[in-house]
Amino acid sequence: MREEWRTQTGFVLATIGSAVGLGNIWRFSYVAGESGGGAFLAIYLVFVVLIGLPLMIAEFALGRRGGGDVVQAFSAASPRWRGAGWLLAAGALVILSYYTVIAGWVLKYLAGALSGTLWTAAQTGYGAYFARFIANTGEPVLWQAAILLIAMLVVAGGVRRGIERLNMWLMPLLAVIVVLLALFALTLPGAGAGVRFLLAPDWSVFARPDVYVAAIGQAFFSLGVGMAVMITYASYMGRQFRIPVSATAIVGGDTLFAVVAGLAIFPAVFALGGNPAAGPELAFITLPQIFLNMPFGSVVAPVFFFLLAAAALTSMVSLLEVPVAVAVHRLALGRRRATLLAGGLVFLLGLPSALSYGLLADVTLAGQPILDAVDRAVSSMLLPLGGLLVALCVGWAANRAVVVAEADLPDAALARLWVWLLRVPVPLLLVVVFLRAVGAI
C-alpha cells in the first residue's frame, strides 16, 4: 500500500525539519560571517524568493504527480528524464555521506556539554580540542555511525510512524529553543554590534561576485532543494494538500529560522570578542569558547548542541528517505532492508570525510581536505546541477497543463510567472553558478 502523510501539518513540519538543519545554524552563520553579514543576507533573501520558492513548488508538483520515488517522478514527467532521477538519488547519498560526519561531531559536542568534559577541555583551548578530536581515527567514525543509526531507526519506522511523528514534536520544540537562545544572546552587553553585522548591509560587499555564488549555494543547501528530498516527501502528499501554501510556509519558516539562529550566534560572538569570519569552525571552536565565558554558559551549551543535533537529524532523515524510496520501488525491497542498504552505503561513502583530518589528512582534493572539498562541490556544483535538471524538466520537458494543474497556484498570472521563472531566469543563473564553480568563467 502507498504510504501517505497523516496531516498537512505533519507534512509541513517534516519538510521544515528537512530544510532546517546544520545549514541554518552551522553553515548559515559561518557563510554569512565570511561573506560580510547584512549584504549577504539581502542577496540570499532575493535568491530564496526568485529561485528557491519556484524550485520548491516544482519539486512538490513533480513528486506528487509521480507518486513514487524520484526516478518515477522524472520518468512520469517525461520518460527521457529517467536518468536525472538516478543522478539526484545518488546525489542525496553523497550529501548525506559528509553531512552525517558533521552531525556526528555535533553529537560528540552535545555529549561533552552534558557530561562536562567540554569544560575541562578549555585548558588547552577549543582549537586544540577540536583538532585533536577530528585528527583521531576511531572517534569521528564512531559518532558518525551513532547519529546515522538514529536516523536509520526513524526512517525504518515509516513515513507516518517514524518521520512524521519525530518532526511533529521535535520541530516546535526547536523553534522555541532557537527563539529563547536569541532572546538570551540579545541581552548580552555589546550584542548590538552582532545585530548590526547581520542586518545592516556593508555596501562594498555587493561588488563581490563570490558572495552571490555563496548565497545561491547556501539558499539551495538550506532550503534542501536540488537533491530530490522535496520530490520524495511530496510523493507522500495527499491530493487535498495545497502546494503553494506549504511551499511558502516552508521557505518562510526555513529563512526565519536561519535569521533567528543568526540573532543567537552573532550577538554572542561580538559581545565576547569572537571572530565572525572564523569559517566552518565557528560552531566547534569559537562558540564553545563563548559559552565558557558567558553567564549560564553551562546551560546554554547543551541546549545549543541539542538544537544543532536534532535539526541535523531531521534533515538526515529526509535525505536518507530519497535512496530508501528508490530501493523500495526500484529494487522491491522492504522498508527495513532498504534502510539498511542505503544507511550502509552512506556510512561507507562517509568514511573518507570522517577520516579527512586524521588518517587521510595528507589527501587533498583541489587543495582542500576531503570533507571541505565535498562540501564545496555539493553546494556550488551538485545542488545547482540538480536544481537545473528540475527546472528544465518541469519548465520545458513536462506537459505544461499537467504541471500547472498539479502545482495548483492561486491564479493564472502567477502560474505563468512560475513557469517562466523555471524556463529562463532560474536555468540561466544556475548555469552561470555552475560554470563559475568549475572555473570556466
Which C-beta is closer to ligand TRP: that of 121 or that of 155? 155
Which residue, among 246, 240, 209, 217, has the nearest Cα to 53 in the 3D structure?
A: 246
Which C-beta is closer to ligand TRP: that of 383 or that of 404? 383
Please report whether residue 285 would count as binding ligand TRP according to CB under 6 A: no
Which C-beta is closer to ligand TRP: that of 22 or that of 118? 22
Site for ligand TRP in 379-398 (CB under 6 A): 383
- DSSP three-state, residue 61: helix
The residue sitting closest to ligand TRP, measured at its beta carbon, is 23
C-alpha 42/C-alpha 95 separation (Å) is 26
Binding mask 175-214 for ligand TRP (x = CB under 6 A): ----------------------------------------
- DSSP three-state, residue 365: strand
C-alpha 61/C-alpha 404 separation (Å) is 8
Site of grid cell 536518468: 83
Q: Candidates 15, 18, 72, 167: give the one binding ligand TRP (CB under 6 A).
A: 18
DSSP state of 214: H
Please report whether residue 24 would count as binding ligand TRP according to CB under 6 A: yes
Contact region with ligand TRP (CB under 6 A), list: 60-68, 135-143, 221-229, 298-306 = 221-229
Which C-beta is closer to ligand TRP: that of 167 or that of 318? 318
Site of grid cell 519556484: 54
Whole-number minimum distance, CB 117 to ligand TRP, in Å?
26
- DSSP three-state, residue 343: helix
Please report whether residue 224 would count as binding ligand TRP according to CB under 6 A: yes
Contact region with ligand TRP (CB under 6 A), list: 22-30, 165-173, 190-198, 295-303 = 22-30
C-alpha 12/C-alpha 18 separation (Å) is 10
Please report whether residue 222 would count as binding ligand TRP according to CB under 6 A: yes
Which C-beta is closer to ligand TRP: that of 59 or that of 406? 59
Which C-beta is closer to ligand TRP: that of 104 or that of 297? 104
Please report whether residue 218 would count as binding ligand TRP according to CB under 6 A: no
DSSP conformation letters of 122-159: GGG-HHHHHHHHHH-SHHHHHHHHHHHHHHHHHHHT-I
Contact region with ligand TRP (CB under 6 A), list: 68-76, 185-193, 226-234, 337-345 = 226-234
User: Checking DSSP bridges between strand 368-369 and strand 364-365, what pairing results, if any?
Assistant: antiparallel
Whole-number minimum distance, CB 298 to ligand TRP, in Å?
27
Site of grid cell 561513502: 349
Contact region with ligand TRP (CB under 6 A), list: 39-47, 110-118, 220-228, 276-284 = 220-228
Please report whether residue 255 would count as binding ligand TRP according to CB under 6 A: no
Which C-beta is closer to ligand TRP: that of 182 or that of 272? 182
Please report whether residue 95 would count as binding ligand TRP according to CB under 6 A: yes
DSSP conformation letters of 369-418: EHHHHHHHHIIIIIHHHHHHHHHHIIIIIS-HHHHHHHHT-SSHHHHHHH
C-alpha 75/C-alpha 24 separation (Å) is 32
Site for ligand TRP in 291-330 (CB under 6 A): 315, 318-319
Contact region with ligand TRP (CB under 6 A), list: 106-114, 208-216, 217-225, 244-252 = 217-225
Could you tell me the three cell numbers for 391? 527546472
Residues 6+ apart with CB under 8 A from 49: 251
Whole-number minimum distance, CB 381 to ligand TRP, in Å?
12
Please report whether residue 23 would count as binding ligand TRP according to CB under 6 A: yes
Whole-number minimum distance, CB 204 to ligand TRP, in Å?
28
Contact 218, 31 (CB under 8 A): yes
Please report whether residue 339 would count as binding ligand TRP according to CB under 6 A: no
Q: How many CB atoms lie within 10 A of CB 113?
A: 23
Helices (H), 67-81: 70-77
C-alpha 341/C-alpha 314 separation (Å) is 19
- DSSP three-state, residue 306: helix
Residues 6+ apart with CB under 8 A from 369: 356, 357, 361, 363
Which C-beta is closer to ligand TRP: that of 319 or that of 407? 319
C-alpha 406/C-alpha 440 separation (Å) is 37
Q: Candidates 54, 85, 226, 276: give the one binding ligand TRP (CB under 6 A).
A: 226
Q: Candidates 175, 227, 268, 272: give the one binding ligand TRP (CB under 6 A).
A: 227
Interacting residues toward ligand TRP by CB under 6 A: 18-19, 21-24, 95, 221-222, 224, 226-227, 229, 315, 318-319, 383
